[in-house]
Amino acid sequence: MGVINATPDSFADKKRNIDSERLVEIALRMVSEGAEVIDVGGESTRPGAEPVSADEELARVLPVIRGLAQHTRVLISIDTYKASVAEAALDAGATIVNDVSGLHYDRGLARVVAKRGAGLVLVHNRGRSREMYREAVYGDLMSEIVAELHDSVKLATEAGVPENKIILDPGLGFAKRTEHSFEVLANLEVLTKLDRPLLVGPSRKSFMSSTLGECPPEERDWGTASTVTAAVFAGAHVVRVHTVRPMVDVVRVADAIQQHRIGNV
C-alpha cells in the first residue's frame, strides 16, 4: 500500500503544497513500482494534528482519486474517519475505507461501507490526535489491542459490513508510545487470533527515533525496511509505506525467507 498525503502538513513529506496532478503522478509511479493499493488521505492524523472540515478534506482528495481512477485499475483506499468523505470518495473511484479511529469517531461510516460493499481497514486507536498520548496507558498491551479491535469489528458487522471485507491495523504510533509500538511489532502474531488480514503501517514513524536518533522522516527508510521485514515475518498481509520500490524488494525477500522456514516448505 503506497501512501499519498494530500495534506499541507504531512509528517513524512517535505513538499507542503497540494498539487493534485503531482500527487497523481507520484501515485502512478508507485503503481509502476509494485504498489497494489494506493491510500489517499486529506487530513493529517499524526499526534497533535488539527482536524479539518469534510469540505476541505474532499477538496484535497477527490481530484487525486478521480485522476487515479481514470489512469489505473489499482485499488484505491480513502484514509478518512468521516462518513460523508468516505461516501464521496467511493463515488469517485475508491473501493476501500481506511479508518484511523476504528469506527469510534463517526459511527455512520460503517453504514456507508456496508451500503457500498467497500473494504474496511479498522485501525486501533484511542482518543483524538491532540490527546492520544494521554490515552497511551496499558496494563496488558496486546490483550487490550485485541479486545478493542474486536469491539471495532463488532461495530462494523452490526452495521452490515461482512467480516471478509475487514482488515485490521494495530495502529503503530496511534495512542502508543515508542515502547508500545516496538512491543506491537514484536508480538504481532498475537493479533492473528482475530482471524482477519493484518495491515501494518510503520513507515517513517517517529517511534524509530529512539534507535535511529533524531532525523527527518524521509531519512528513516532504512529503519522502515527493518520494521517491514519484522511485520512480514510476524504475519502482516499488507504494509503501508511511503517509498514503494525498495519496500517491494524488502517484502519479496522477507516472503522468500518465510517460505523456507521449517514447516512451511
Strand partners, 167: 121
In the chain, beta strands by DSSP E: 2-5, 37-41, 75-79, 96-99, 119-123, 166-169, 199-200, 238-239
Burial (CB count within 10 angstroms: exposed 0-12, middle 13-18, buried 19+), residue 230: middle
Phi and psi at 78, nearest 5°, equal: -105, 120
**Chain centre distance of CA 138:** 22
Q: List the catalytic residue out of 60, 66, 204, 240.
A: 240
Answer for the pair 172, 184: CB distance below 8 angstroms, yes or no. yes
Tell me how far apart the alpha carbons of residues 240 and 100 are, in angstroms, rounded to a whole number.
13
105: its cell numbers: 469517531
| 104: phi then psi, degrees, rounded to nearest 5 | -95, -10
Q: Which of 66, 196, 205, 220 is catalytic?
A: 205
Q: How many CB atoms lie within 10 A of CB 213?
A: 8
Coil/strand/helix, residue 121: strand
Extract the C-alpha cell encoding 103: 469506527
Burial of 185 (0-12, 13-18, 19+ CB in 10 A): buried
Q: Is 205 a residue of the active site?
A: yes
Q: Which residues are catalytic?
A: 205, 240
